[in-house]
């Protein structure tokens, strides 16, 4: 089952085409992570799925309708987005920013209610920012700000949540903290789609992985089934070994030794020793 899917997408910025004839289905109830080298189309695909970028061709579907057929408020009831490097309005507090996640639920007939207030408080508690509610967002650290933006997305209470590089600029502790929270949300039944740069974190947290290169999908599926040394080299151009993570048993990518990579580079073709190391 898939509430969110796309077919035949051509995605571009002005005249620069990023992807052609791209199709994808986001499995319901899974934590999908999109990975790939820089400029491969990861964030562009996410923007198309979120209706931030209109395709030149093809269609994105949400709940069996073309996503373009919904109003912005209708989309906001079904799909939440944490964009890359979001900017908060000047002088806004944490509580006020998180409350903006409820705006899609407001109308002339339905004003702010105690239920809205309770949802905002719950979202701040889930992300551990409730004690910061009176602080200005501009005063916070990068990790704190990212949790605040995630709280706003949670307050929107959508069944599908898209996150564009939610761990960018965070140290390893805050990266794990944010992804632990995402894993909790997935376990509670939400469908998550995230773009990540760290392949080892992606394989640890994702239940469904999409690997992209040059605007195309190279592989997709459960990380344990698709992440191999060959797939990593095909996608990232990196010779590596794939071993079980000692903590989780998920695939762990270990680049081959620098000397072996230098020898490979000098030859201009895969060195046999490197090839054997990648398969070991």
* pLDDT tens digits along 113-157: 898 999 999 999 988 899 999 999 999 988 888 889 999 999 999
User: Which value, in Å, is the radius of gyration of the alpha carbons in the chain?
Assistant: 20
Rounded distance between C-alpha atoms, residue 16 and residue 64, angstroms? 30
Do 160 and 197 lie in one domain? The reply is yes
Full domain range(s) for residue 261 = 236-280
- Domains of the chain: total: 2
Do 219 and 243 lie in one domain? The reply is no
* pLDDT tens digits along 165-174: 998 878 898 8
Mean pLDDT of the residues in the chain: 90
Do 240 and 278 lie in one domain? The reply is yes
Do 140 and 275 lie in one domain? The reply is no
Look at residues 206, 227, 248 and tell me which one is the last residue of a structural domain. 227
Look at residues 188, 204, 227 and tell me which one is the last residue of a structural domain. 227
Look at residues 188, 206, 227 and tell me which one is the last residue of a structural domain. 227
Rounded distance between C-alpha atoms, residue 110 and residue 223, angstroms? 44
* pLDDT tens digits along 241-265: 999 999 999 999 999 988 777 777 7
Structure tokens at 258: 């620098």
Give this prediction's pTM: 0.87
Residues forming a β-bridge with 209: 33, 221
Do 157 and 220 lie in one domain? The reply is yes
Strand (E) or helix (H) holding 182: helix 172-187
Do 209 and 270 lie in one domain? The reply is no
CA 176 to chain centre: 14
């Amino acid at each position: 089952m898939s509430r969110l899917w796309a077919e035949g997408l051509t995605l571009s910025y002005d005249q620069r085409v990023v992807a052609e004839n791209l199709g994808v289905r986001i499995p319901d109830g899974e934590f999908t992570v999109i990975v790939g080298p820089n400029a491969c189309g990861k964030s562009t695909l996410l923007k198309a799925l979120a209706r931030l970028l209109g395709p030149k061709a093809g269609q994105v579907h949400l709940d069996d309708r073309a996503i373009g057929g919904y109003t912005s408020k209708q989309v906001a009831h079904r799909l939440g987005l944490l964009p890359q490097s979001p900017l908060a309005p000047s002088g806004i507090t944490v509580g006020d920013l998180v409350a903006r996640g409820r705006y899609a639920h407001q109308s002339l007939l339905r004003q702010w209610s105690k239920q809205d207030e309770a949802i905002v408080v719950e979202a701040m508690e889930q992300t551990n920012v409730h004690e910061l509610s009176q602080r200005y967002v501009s005063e916070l650290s990068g990790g704190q700000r990212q949790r605040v933006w995630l709280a706003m997305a949670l307050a929107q209470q959508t069944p599908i949540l898209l996150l564009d590089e939610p761990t960018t600029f965070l140290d390893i502790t805050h990266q794990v903290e944010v992804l632990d929270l995402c894993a909790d949300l997935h376990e509670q039944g939400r469908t998550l789609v995230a773009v990540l740069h760290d392949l080892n974190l992606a394989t640890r947290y994702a239940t469904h992985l999409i690997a992209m290169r040059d605007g195309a999908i190279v592989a997709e599926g459960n990380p344990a089934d698709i992440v191999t040394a060959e797939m990593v080299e095909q996608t990232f151009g990196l010779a590596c070994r794939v071993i079980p993570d000692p903590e989780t048993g998920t695939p762990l990518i270990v680049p081959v030794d620098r000397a072996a990579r230098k020898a490979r580079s000098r030859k201009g073709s895969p060195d046999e020793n490197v090839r054997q190391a990648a398969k070991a």
